[in-house]
């Protein structure tokens, strides 16, 4: 895409920089020069996330492709993903972990369809994916006793008001708003319900207190930067007890069935997947786990996300035009780092103009190959979302920042000088 095309996203539209002129026909030059250095890896998408440093297709040469996934060696690879993920996350010994179909969505919905309805449930909704889980509970499952506690983008619902007798469904990190739960003190240790946690943009990047959780889900495409094919579903003994003691009065597709004759299907949690997995994706996640081990394991992954957050935060704190979308600093995500533009002129724009501005800003950087896929989520307020999970190098966050400065200055000069002219 050319620079000219990029600017056609701007609201209002302007000519490319070299032909720009202000109200008095004087050239309008962006106040910030284009940076010289680019991030060595310009991928900042919140999913699929960038590959680990040094990744290449060579890591896939030993994939068990063309073999039955039920054969000894391929099955051992599936089991290795389970065992190594469990160890790296520090999942309790008595938990089960399985590879399931449908990426993280598959894992969450498998749990919801199989377990909910036994008691009242609270769904915590504060961004797009948690909204999907609320829709599932209310409109699809039609649960009679379901409560949705909502907050807008940037905030959390009142966690302290969650009824401890309820089942709970919530995202540990709201990927589309960059708001995470700051702690799990709001869940009781001796709860009666089960806690279903969508941890897809938290697992491997954030400390999680598994004693407070019963179902934890994620996909390989997020913090590990692997492929999106499969979901991971971790179950506490209480979750297993729910599966074995409760038969929901609804049809369950084969893909969701985790029990056989009232007993947990243990094979799923030992690598005997419900249906056929991609052994290429399996090899890729094993490579990501190798890389994670090579840098120090789970603690090192968390430290890398923390360092990425710190690098961006240092800039945000000293930059007048940008701020975190998450209002409370304790809730700011270290993976899906969502920012809002607080420049007074930007705030005067209509919502659609703000969205066009952000889209154009991102396209400016993309057109120079300096950073990709960091526009805010389509349903979130206009802003930027920069992935800071473990596969991202802090040096690349630092290298992106001057590009953000440049693109903001450039896009501002395009948007606001024309507004002045129109006035």
Tell me how far, at minimum, the Cβ of 212 lies from ligand PLP, in Å. 18
Window contacting ligand PLP (CB under 6 A); options: 12-20, 59-67, 103-111, 319-327: 103-111
Closest-CB residue for ligand PLP? Answer: 175
Window contacting ligand PLP (CB under 6 A); options: 66-74, 196-204, 322-330, 356-364: 196-204
Tell me how far, at minimum, the Cβ of 231 lies from ligand PLP, in Å. 7
Q: Does 122 bind ligand PLP (CB under 6 A)?
A: no
- What residues are paired with 196 via a beta bridge? 169, 215
Tell me how far, at minimum, the Cβ of 378 lies from ligand PLP, in Å. 12
Are 11 and 365 a contacting pair, CB within 8 Å? no
- By residue count, the chain amounts to 423
Nearer to ligand PLP, 324 or 403 (CB): 324
Q: Does 198 bind ligand PLP (CB under 6 A)?
A: yes
Rounded distance between C-alpha atoms, residue 7 and residue 309, angstroms = 30
Tell me how far, at minimum, the Cβ of 380 lies from ligand PLP, in Å. 12
Which of 55, 113, 129, 170: binder of ligand PLP (CB under 6 A)? Answer: 129
Q: Does 335 bind ligand PLP (CB under 6 A)?
A: no
Nearer to ligand PLP, 128 or 319 (CB): 128
Are 216 and 419 a contacting pair, CB within 8 Å? no
Rounded distance between C-alpha atoms, residue 92 and residue 259, angstroms = 21
Q: Which of 105, 113, 334, 129 is nearest to 232 (CA)?
A: 105
Q: Which of 176, 168, 221, 161 is nearest to 197 (CA)?
A: 168
Rounded distance between C-alpha atoms, residue 406 and residue 402, angstroms = 6
Q: Which of 299, 335, 312, 293 is nearest to 207 (CA)?
A: 299
Window contacting ligand PLP (CB under 6 A); options: 63-71, 194-202, 303-311, 342-350: 194-202
Q: Does 219 bind ligand PLP (CB under 6 A)?
A: yes
Q: Which of 349, 308, 341 is nearest to 324 (CA)?
A: 341
Q: Does 103 bind ligand PLP (CB under 6 A)?
A: yes
Tell me the torsion sign for CA atoms 377, 383, 387, 388: negative
Q: In 221-271, which ranges are E strands? A: 230-235, 259-260, 263-264
Near ligand PLP in 6-65, by CB under 6 A: 47
Q: Does 187 bind ligand PLP (CB under 6 A)?
A: no
3-state secondary structure of 386: strand
Q: Does 171 bind ligand PLP (CB under 6 A)?
A: yes
Q: Does 125 bind ligand PLP (CB under 6 A)?
A: no
Nearer to ligand PLP, 41 or 104 (CB): 104
Q: Does 221 bind ligand PLP (CB under 6 A)?
A: yes
Listing DSSP states for 309-367 in one string gives HHHHHHHHHH-TTEEESSSSGGGB-SSEEEEEE--HHHHTS-HHHHHHHHHHHHHHHHH
Which of 201, 411, 413, 415: binder of ligand PLP (CB under 6 A)? Answer: 201
Which of 89, 151, 195, 228: binder of ligand PLP (CB under 6 A)? Answer: 228
Which of 104, 109, 227, 405: binder of ligand PLP (CB under 6 A)? Answer: 104
Nearer to ligand PLP, 35 or 171 (CB): 171
- Interface residues with ligand PLP (CB under 6 A) are 47, 103-105, 129, 171, 175, 198, 200-201, 219, 221, 228
């Amino acid at each position: 895409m050319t620079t000219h095309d990029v600017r056609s996203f701007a609201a209002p539209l302007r000519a490319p920089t070299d032909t720009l002129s202000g109200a008095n026909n004087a050239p309008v030059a962006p106040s910030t020069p284009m940076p010289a250095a680019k991030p060595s890896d310009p991928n900042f998408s919140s999913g699929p996330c960038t590959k680990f440093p040094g990744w290449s297709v060579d890591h896939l040469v030993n994939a068990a492709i063309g073999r039955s996934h039920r054969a000894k060696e391929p099955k051992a690879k599936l089991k290795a993903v389970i065992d190594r993920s469990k160890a790296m996350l520090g999942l309790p010994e008595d938990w089960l972990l399985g590879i399931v179909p449908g990426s993280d969505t598959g894992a969450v919905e498998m749990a919801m369809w199989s377990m909910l309805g036994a008691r009242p449930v609270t769904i915590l909704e504060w961004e797009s994916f948690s909204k999907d889980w609320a829709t599932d509970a209310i409109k699809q499952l039609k649960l009679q006793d379901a409560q949705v506690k909502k907050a807008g983008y940037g905030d959390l619902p009142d966690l302290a008001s969650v009824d401890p007798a309820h089942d709970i469904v919530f995202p540990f990190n709201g990927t589309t708003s960059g708001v995470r739960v700051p702690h799990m003190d709001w869940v009781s240790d001796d709860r009666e319900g089960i806690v279903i946690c969508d941890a897809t943009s938290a697992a491997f990047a954030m400390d999680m207190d598994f004693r407070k959780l019963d179902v934890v889900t994620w996909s390989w495409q997020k913090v590990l930067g692997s492929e999106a094919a499969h979901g991971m579903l971790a179950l506490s003994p209480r979750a297993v007890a729910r599966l074995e003691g409760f038969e929901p009065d609804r049809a369950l597709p084969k893909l969701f069935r985790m029990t056989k004759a009232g007993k947990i299907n243990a094979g799923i949690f030992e690598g005997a997947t419900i249906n056929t997995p991609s052994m290429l994706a399996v090899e890729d996640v094993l490579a990501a786990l190798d890389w994670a081990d090579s840098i120090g394991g789970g603690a090192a992954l968390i430290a890398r996300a923390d360092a990425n957050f710190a690098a961006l935060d240092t800039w945000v704190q000293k930059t007048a035009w940008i701020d975190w979308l998450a209002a409370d600093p304790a809730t700011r995500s270290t993976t899906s780092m969502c920012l809002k533009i607080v420049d007074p002129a930007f705030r005067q724009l209509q919502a659609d103009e703000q969205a066009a501005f952000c889209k154009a800003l991102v396209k400016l950087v993309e057109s120079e190959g300096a950073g990709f896929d960091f526009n805010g989520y389509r349903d979130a307020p206009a802003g930027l979302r920069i992935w800071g999970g473990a596969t991202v190098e802090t040096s690349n966050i630092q290298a992106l920042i001057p590009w953000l400065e440049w693109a903001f200055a450039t896009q501002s000069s395009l948007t606001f000088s024309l507004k002045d002219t129109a006035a």
